[in-house]
Chain A
């Protein structure tokens, strides 16, 4: 502590310790937050086809097509410790082949500062709804749920589901596969 540089070194090291404790306080202030909100999901048009998935195994699998509406207001999930939200819409169902299937159909990243109110009508899914097998035709109990992951500045990444699920069924007939 008796030269300019050693004082500077001590000062900067102390600053880093203080910065680390401030960051911990930032994390601690949002640790108990409930990040769940309501969301409204509806399906508009639902069709299922039976096609060969050439990127998999050449057998014919069920391919679901659906358009959906989604409404959710996520502005209050953002706080000083939330950088962005990663939203994803999951379809969950059971088939004779598999007890639990979960397929992500759509996702979106919302940065802090962007509009966090979602109100989309009749949009297509972003990803294909392939089933492992032929379990979509006439499946009466397919549930769509919106989940999101809160990406923080510091700390844990909570992954929560919205309140409000939507259950729908696939038709009992395949639609004609005209070049899926």
Chain B
């Protein structure tokens, strides 16, 4: 794996992961349904797939990078104790 500089964050906490997963599922299903309705009304299935693709791009942008909103519930680690 390539080494990123230390100031670029690379993780989400568990609450954030749950929200991220829910968010991309909702976005993709929503764009899928909208695409289906639009494609049926103009009778072109290609438009359905393009709309779904737009939804996937939006979901990637919103949920793949670890934005700060997914790091609002960090775990409460105990302080290190010397042995």
Provide the main secondary structure of the chain A interface: helix
Q: List 11 A-B contacts (CB under 8 A).
A: A2-B11, A2-B12, A3-B11, A8-B64, A10-B21, A11-B63, A14-B25, A18-B28, A18-B52, A25-B36, A80-B45
Closest Cβ–Cβ distance, residue B43 to chain A (whole Å): 4
Q: How many residues does chain A have at the interface if contact means C-beta atoms less than 8 Å apart? A: 23
A140 at the interface (CB under 8 A from B): no
Query: How long is the Cα–Cα vector from A12 to B63 in the complex, in angstroms?
Result: 12
User: Contact mask A1-25 → B, CB, 8 Å, 1/0?
Assistant: 1111001101110110011011101
Interface residues of B in 1-54 (CB under 8 A from A): 10-12, 17, 20-21, 24-25, 28-29, 32, 35-36, 39-40, 43-45, 48-49, 52
Q: Which residues of A contact B25 (CB under 8 A)?
A: 14
Q: Which of B11, B45, B63, B66 contacts A153 (CB 8 A)?
A: B45
Asked whether A15 and B20 contact (CB < 8 A) given A7-B63, A79-B43, A80-B44, the answer is no
Query: How long is the Cα–Cα vector from A84 to B66 in the complex, in angstroms?
Result: 46
Q: Which residues of B contact A26 (CB under 8 A)?
A: 36, 39, 45, 48
Asked whether A3 and B24 contact (CB < 8 A) given A8-B60, A22-B35, the answer is no
Query: How long is the Cα–Cα vector from A128 to B20 in the complex, in angstroms?
Result: 65
Determine whether the beta carbon of A18 is less than 8 Å from that of B43: no
Determine whether the beta carbon of A14 is less than 8 Å from that of B28: yes
Q: Which residues of B contact A2 (CB under 8 A)?
A: 11-12, 17
Query: How long is the Cα–Cα vector from A18 to B48 in the complex, in angstroms?
Result: 11
Determine whether the beta carbon of B21 is less than 8 Å from that of A1: yes
Query: How long is the Cα–Cα vector from A22 to B39 in the complex, in angstroms?
Result: 10
